[in-house]
Amino acid sequence: MIHKTAIVHRDAEVAEDCEIGPYCVIGSGVTLGAGCRLHSHVVLEGPMRAGEHNEFFPFCCAGQKTQDLKYKEEPTHLVIGDHNVFREFVTLHRATSPGDRTVVGSHNAILAYSHIAHDCIVGDHVIMSNNATLAGHVTVEDRVVLGGFTAIHQFCRIGAMANTGGCSKVVQDIPPFMTADGNPAQVRTINKVGLERNGVTQEARHQILAAYKLLYREDGLNVADAVERIRKELPPSEGLQRLCDFVSASKRGISR
């Protein structure tokens, strides 16, 4: 199932049922799991490993060396999970420092012209709409939706089930369950639709909304005070624990 015009390096490890389309190039150090499909004109370079049933659309490039000017040609890695879709012209780069990895999880939809830079960590069930861009060392947790043309600054974190509006410029962390929009992006409210779609109960959504009001709407509270009140005044839950831990660990500060 390898097209006659494709070039596959003899050191690449390609599962027998992979489909490699016309004019694809698979370099040394590339591993493709079962059921992967490369449509055409896809370029993969190693060291990189992709799991099972990943789909790469035309002109997608993955595993190229980092654009970080500190890179000194040491071996770095790109690791991709299972059941991902990478649409046209998506780019995914390896990490910068020796032995480090750029990591993409499973069941993600990375749409056309999106970019995942060196040392990023992307979770599971993430949607990056067209032209969404992650700078280096960005973390995107599970079930995040990034609107088209979202640009995320280096070292920022996007919490689970958060989302961004189109053309958002993200320069600080966006806590879990929140909706952010603007240039620079500001948290506007909770991601009500995303929470509902991901099966979060009404009671849990009400608790998250109450926490949001303490973080963003209560006059005279700094972030640490708001977190303390959330922990003391709201019923303990896994979601609120995750929110408080995320905010407390923020190094760039949270988007306000």
Residue percentage of the chain with pLDDT more than 70: 100
Tens digits of per-residue pLDDT, 95-124? 999 999 999 999 999 999 999 999 999 999
Tens digits of per-residue pLDDT, 212-240? 999 999 988 999 999 999 999 999 999 99
H runs (alpha helix) in 51-201 = 192-197
CATH of 7-137, one of 3.30.70.1530, 3.30.530.20, 2.40.110.10, 2.160.10.10: 2.160.10.10
Q: For the domain covering 196-248, report its CATH number.
A: 1.20.1180.10
Residue 113 pLDDT: 98
Residue 164 pLDDT: 98
119 classed as catalytic: yes
In this predicted structure, the answer to whether residue 43 has a pLDDT above a threshold of 90 is: yes
Of residues 29, 136, 194, 239, which has the active-site annotation? 136
Residue percentage of the chain with pLDDT more than 90: 98
173 classed as catalytic: no
Tens digits of per-residue pLDDT, 163-199? 999 999 999 999 999 999 999 999 999 999 999 999 9
Tell me the pLDDT band of 138, cut-offs 50, 70 and 90.
Answer: very high
Domain edges within the chain: 7-137, 196-248
In one letter, which amino acid is 98?
Answer: P
Q: Residue 84 — φ and ψ, nearest 5°? A: -100, 155
Query: What integer best gives the mean pLDDT of the chain?
Result: 97
CA distances from 246 to 68, 72, 159, 173 (A): 27, 33, 7, 9
219 classed as catalytic: no
Of residues 29, 118, 124, 148, which has the active-site annotation? 118
Instruction: To the nearest 10°, report the CA torsion of 73, 152, 156, 90.
Output: -50
Q: Which residues are 185's β-sheet partners?
A: 182
| pLDDT mean over 157-166 | 98
CB 91, CB 64: distance < 8 Å = yes
Residue 220 pLDDT: 87
144-151, Cβ contacts within 8 angstroms, sequence gap of 24 or more: 145/194, 147/181, 148/111
- Residue for token digits 């480090």? 100
Handedness of CA 209, 215, 221, 226 (dihedral sign): positive
In this predicted structure, the answer to whether residue 75 has a pLDDT above a threshold of 90 is: yes
